[in-house]
Structure 1
């Protein structure tokens, strides 16, 4: 029996830059794992629609698939629209946990910060902002706060968390808070998956507020691919067991101060 297929499920606007980034992530994952069948599906108005992707898998006699939400701010819940799809009589489906704000995203943000500082010719920073779009679940919000603390401890710098509503106001407010503490060389780490309109508004607001560097979206990354494959492994185990299981969430047991 072949391994279950992977379906990367992404929300967000149907914009060319967003679609290009998502297709790059999917193609890169496929290149790294040619033994797996990997598809990209979009929720909302994006194409290809998830129902069409599932129908395509069924037409190719694929028996099982794991749906992986490409959501960086939710830790345990998935879009409710998936609930009506996973009970298909024609294919056995499981929904993995979202990618979420896992510890590994800090490695990606570090890489993106270095790239942004290099582009801007900056030599040092004395403050950081960890910015993410709003819309995650309660556990995701808790983990985001923890990631901000971990990032601060790792770099020994103050880190301000900003959960942005798509206008950039939260990012600008976080930068202003650091500047009021005397910080003048502030870099912004953007926990946005794609260069959506919300990301653009956040980045522009950050620069207007005085940030010396704003990272590019997460986009394609070896760390992201590893996270996706880890979510897939647990989802495939659920299919193997044949019964729903409570998949573990990073750092669920305790929270640091």
Structure 2
């Protein structure tokens, strides 16, 4: 029996930069795991829609699929969002936990901060902002705060958490808060998957407020690929026994 297919489910506008970034993530994952059938589906009326992707899999006689939400800020299952999702009874669909604010994202942000500092010719920082888009669930919000504390402890620097509504104000306020504390070399880690308009507003807000470096969106990274595959593997376990599997609370805390 073949392994279940993976469908990466992503939100975001029908924008060329966003589309290219998501396509790159999908291609990279397919190259990394050529043994798996991997597709991308878009929400919000953007093509390819989830129903069309599932219909294509059914027509190719695929019997099982795991949906992996590419959501970096929520931590709980997205099953309720797909309760009304119509699909053929010939395919078994399960929804994994979203990628979420896993501890591994701090490794990605460290890499992105180094890249941003190198581009700007900066040598040191004395403050950090962890910026994320709004829309997290309760568990995700708690984990975002936890990641900010972990980042602060790791670098022994003050870290401000900014949850932006899409206008860049929260990021700008976080940078201004650090500057009010006397910090002048502030880098902003962007927990945005792709260069959406919300990311661009956050970038502009950070620079206007005086940040010396703002990271690029997460995009395609080895860490992200491994997180996606971990979520897929956990979802595939549910297909094996047909019963939902719940992570213990301590595992959710660590988000391994």
In the superposition, the TM-score normalised over structure 1's length comes to 0.96
Match of 1:195 in 2: 195
Are the counterparts in 1 of residues 130 and 191 from structure 2 also a CA contact under 8 Å?
A: yes
Q: Is the 8 A contact 1:86 1:94 kept in 2?
A: no
Q: Aligned-pair RMSD on alpha carbons?
A: 1.4
| SS in structure 2 of the partner of residue 147 of structure 1 | helix
Aligned to 1:180: 180
Does residue 64 of structure 2 align to residue 64 of structure 1? yes
Which residue in the other structure is 1:116 paired with? 116
CA distance in 2, matches of 1:248, 1:132: 26
1:231 maps to: 231
Contact 2:54 2:87 in 1 (8 A): no
Offset at residue 86 of structure 1 (A): 7.2
Deviations 1:224-254 (A, max 9, x none): 0000000001000000011222245675459
Residues 104 and 67 of structure 1, relative CA distance in 2, 3 Å threshold: same
How far apart, in 2, do the equivalents of 1:200 and 1:124 lie? Answer: 24
**Any stretches of 5+ residues in structure 1 without a counterpart?**
none
**1:134 counterpart residue number:** 134
Segments of 5+ residues of structure 2 without an aligned counterpart are: none
In structure 2, the partner of 1:214 is 214
Per the alignment, residue 47 of structure 1 pairs with 47
Across the two proteins, how many residue pairs are aligned to each other? 254
CA distance in 1, matches of 2:248, 2:33: 24
SS at match of 2:12: coil
Q: Distance in 1 between matches of 2:55 and 2:145?
A: 39
Whether the 8 Å contact between 1:66 and 1:235 is mirrored in structure 2 is yes
Write the distance in 2 (CA, Å) between the matches of 1:66 and 1:177: 42
Separation of aligned partners in 2, 1:63 and 1:43: 22
More displaced 10-residue stretch of structure 1: 82-91 or 200-209: 82-91
8 Å CA contact 1:86–1:93 kept in 2: the answer is no
Aligned residue in 2 for 1:11: 11
Instruction: Look up the match of 2:147.
Output: 147
